[in-house]
Amino acid sequence: MSNVTVLPNCPIPSNKTGIAFEAFTQGGEHGTMSQVMAPPWLDVLDETIGACVTHRRPDLEARLREKRAQQLDPKLRVLVVGESKQGKSQLVNALLNAPVCAVGDDITTTVPTFVQHADTPSAALVRNASAGGSIFHTPTERIAVPIDQVTKQAAAQHVVRAEIGIPRALLDSGLVLIDTPGVGDTRSAHTASTFATLMQADAVLMVSDATGELTAAEMTLLKKVMEACPNVTVVVTKIDLVPSWRAVVERNRALLARAGVRAKLIPVSSALRLRAAKTGDQRLNAESGFPELVSCVQSDIVASADLLARRAVAVVASSAITQLVTPLREELTAHDSSRTVATISTLQEAQRRVDELRRRSARWQNVLNDEMADLISDVEYDLRDRTRKILREVDKTYDEADPAIGWDKFEQWLEDNLNEAATTNFAWLMERAEWVAAKVARNFPVYREDLIPGSVLPDDLLEPASKLEKPKIEPFSVPQKLFTGLRGSYGGVLMFGLVTSLAGMPLINVISLGAGALFGGKSILDESDQRLKRRQAAAKAAAQRHVDDFFMKFSKDVRDSGRHIQRSLRNHFSTLAEELQETLLESARSAKRAVQDDQTERERRLREGRKELDRLVTLYKRVQALGGPAMELTA
């Protein structure tokens, strides 16, 4: 680095921490004792950190602790920010009268460059292996490089900042000038590193050239900078290139006034300053505007370190308190309404389910009564229909068959058909009973498969029916047939004998005997038919009586089974309803207790919340007293 002529800068020692020393001598050469008193902003900052811990905001706590450590550091960090190609690096060079930052159309600052005092010129690149963390955290590696190679080598991976040390009176008081990458796209890594550095700045020099007034983007940047650091000075550069720079400066002042930004605006020319430094021309140095800028740095920054610290602490503390107050106030306003609504909704839902269960209790009982009445009626009708079909088959059979022949087979056939009818009818009864149970279960508020009972029929439901009584069958013996034949032949012999006697024939003749034989045979046949019909009628009557007996007994069994099923289902579902109702009532009681407990808890939290809000408001007023921005914050 080449030597340059150093213009007088009259450094003023800084007292950033605000520690007052009351020295007095108590005899002897080394009898000096100092009484140290902490700065007023330190207690406020520590109390704000405690509030962040209380409200479980580790992010705000970490930021405030970092600010506390930075403010206790005797160094004064002055950030030089602005958009690209506005002359930031040249401004740093002109302030220090040394080419510490590389400048040029094809050269740009890629990482924050810290320029501080050192007895001998030196430079280093700081690399951090971890992706996160502040640029002020302890580095993992420091690499010494030539000063003129800092900008070129700073583009390497994981370089978080560059450090340059030079012997300058302006820096001897602990002042650190930080040249930052140009602020452009807010998504770029360079812009992110600039804003990360901004959080640690004690003062800011906002740079904008004189080729045009402050743009909307620059005004937005200026407001964002002042939100993090209120100690801002606007520097208008390159006035040597713009003949009408004074008009630009006046328009900028008007813009700042309209935006309510209270910041000094100083026009400078870095080129004139560096030329004056080489030639020692004091007049040219005065035209460059740097004497005013240097005086501003010395008086408003170096000499006012304690004021800057108080204002910086006021800004960051007020921001943190505002973030603590906002959710607290919302909670007090809402009275924890979401939780209360949820608890009341639970109580209302439990009460609704109890009422619904009571309504459905009457409904499922009506369904059970109606369905069981229909079931018994349908099953009895089905049994009657099946027995009638059997009787029709009996009538059809004994319209032709003789009961005296094959009665045992008929008896077995009848028993088999009656058993089949009973089995089918009983199976339908069971199937319909299960369907009724499922339909009743669906009338409960919550339908589940386990609501249906396993079995509702008794084990000894059906008893065996009585045996079929065999009808009395009259025999048609040979003597009976002879007697019947003689009785029938008498009429034939007498009738035809009288007729033939008119012809002169005797009463007993061949014709009358033949007629008697025919009439006798017909009488035997007629008697046989009559006896067969009587046997068939007796068989039908016996089958009718047996089927009627079967129907009466089995229909009674069916009705008894229906009533048993109905009672079993009623008892089963009544027990389930009582258990469910008890569960719902207990749930309603629990919800009611929860509402009462929640009300008590909300009242307690309201009291504590208002007490905490009052404490934060009081703390905020103390922060305002430090010199922070005026913000209205009331309970």
Mean pLDDT, rounded, for 412-441: 86
Shared-domain flag, residues 231 and 376:
no
Say if 17 falls within a structural domain.
Answer: no
Kindly report, residue by residue over 358-371, the tens digit of the pLDDT.
776 778 788 888 88
CATH number for position 440: 1.20.120
Shared-domain flag, residues 435 and 371:
yes
- CA 348, chain centre distance (Å): 22
Q: Which two tokens stand for residue 170?
A: 């302006």
Rounded alpha-carbon distances, angstroms, from residue 353 to 350, 570, 586: 5, 21, 12
Say if 248 falls within a structural domain.
Answer: yes
pLDDT value at position 533? 80
Q: Are 113 and 162 spatial neighbours (Cβ–Cβ below 8 Å)?
A: yes
CATH number for position 113: 3.40.50.300
More confident residue, 619 or 286: 286
Q: pLDDT tier at 299 (50, 70, 90 boundaries)? A: confident
Which residues are CB-neighbours of 620 under 8 A, at least 6 positions away?
A: 318, 321, 322, 325, 631, 633
Mean pLDDT, rounded, for 349-377: 79
Shared-domain flag, residues 532 and 460:
yes
Which range is least confidently modeled, 6-20, 206-220, 418-432? 6-20
Say if 11 falls within a structural domain.
Answer: no
pLDDT value at position 468? 64
Shared-domain flag, residues 299 and 368:
no
Kindly report, residue by residue over 152-191, the tens digit of the pLDDT.
777 666 788 888 999 988 888 888 999 888 886 544 656 6
Shared-domain flag, residues 400 and 495:
yes
Say if 617 falls within a structural domain.
Answer: no
Which residue, 91, 603, 459, is CA-closest to 296? 91
- CA–CA dist 375, 368 (Å, integer): 10
pLDDT value at position 140? 67
pLDDT value at position 365? 82
Rounded alpha-carbon distances, angstroms, from residue 245 to 12, 175, 211, 250, 524: 31, 30, 7, 9, 156
Which range is least confidently modeled, 195-209, 272-286, 572-586? 572-586
- CA–CA dist 520, 500 (Å, integer): 19
- CA–CA dist 491, 497 (Å, integer): 10
Shared-domain flag, residues 455 and 549:
yes
CB 369: neighbour CB atoms within 10 A? 12
Which range is least confidently modeled, 206-220, 469-483, 495-509, 551-565? 469-483
Q: pLDDT tier at 25 (50, 70, 90 boundaries)? A: very low
- CA–CA dist 337, 329 (Å, integer): 13
Q: Which two tokens stand for residue 62?
A: 């970490």
Q: pLDDT tier at 489 (50, 70, 90 boundaries)? A: low
Which residue, 107, 137, 108, 140, is CA-closest to 125? 140
pLDDT value at position 484? 63
Buried b (16+ CB within 10 A) or exposed e, 544-572: eebbeebbebbbebbeebbeebbebbbeb
Final residue of a domain: which of 303, 332, 366?
303
Say if 61 falls within a structural domain.
Answer: no
Is the pLDDT score of 207 beyond 90? yes
pLDDT value at position 187? 46
CA dihedral 595, 601, 607, 612 (to 10 degrees): -130
Shared-domain flag, residues 298 and 362:
no
Shared-domain flag, residues 295 and 387:
no
pLDDT value at position 32? 38
Final residue of a domain: which of 303, 334, 367?
303
Which residue, 78, 75, 65, is CA-closest to 134? 65
Tell me phi and psi for residue 108, to 5 degrees. -145, 150
Shared-domain flag, residues 247 and 114:
yes
Mean pLDDT, rounded, for 534-541: 81
Q: Are 15 and 587 spatial neighbours (Cβ–Cβ below 8 Å)?
A: no
Shared-domain flag, residues 284 and 365:
no
Which residues are CB-neighbours of 399 under 8 A, at least 6 positions away?
A: 536
Is the pLDDT score of 470 beyond 70? no
Mean pLDDT of all residues belonging to the chain: 77
Query: How many independent structural domains does the chain possess?
Result: 2
- CA–CA dist 493, 500 (Å, integer): 10
Say if 179 falls within a structural domain.
Answer: yes
Kindly report, residue by residue over 50-80, the tens digit of the pLDDT.
888 888 888 888 888 877 777 777 788 899 9
Say if 265 falls within a structural domain.
Answer: yes
Mean pLDDT, rounded, for 278-294: 90
Final residue of a domain: which of 303, 333, 368?
303
Q: Which two tokens stand for residue 560?
A: 């008894």
Shared-domain flag, residues 289 and 214:
yes
pLDDT value at position 265? 92
> Whole domain around residue 87: which residue ranges?
73-303
Question: What 8-state DSSP symbol labels residue 635?
Answer: -
To the nearest whole percent, how much of the chain has pLDDT over 70?
76
pLDDT value at position 30? 39
Mean pLDDT, rounded, for 327-350: 67
Say if 340 falls within a structural domain.
Answer: no
CB 38: neighbour CB atoms within 10 A? 13
Shared-domain flag, residues 527 and 451:
yes
Which range is least confidently modeled, 316-320, 497-501, 580-584, 617-621? 497-501
Is the pLDDT score of 387 beyond 50? yes
Kindly report, residue by residue over 99-113, the tens digit of the pLDDT.
888 887 767 778 888
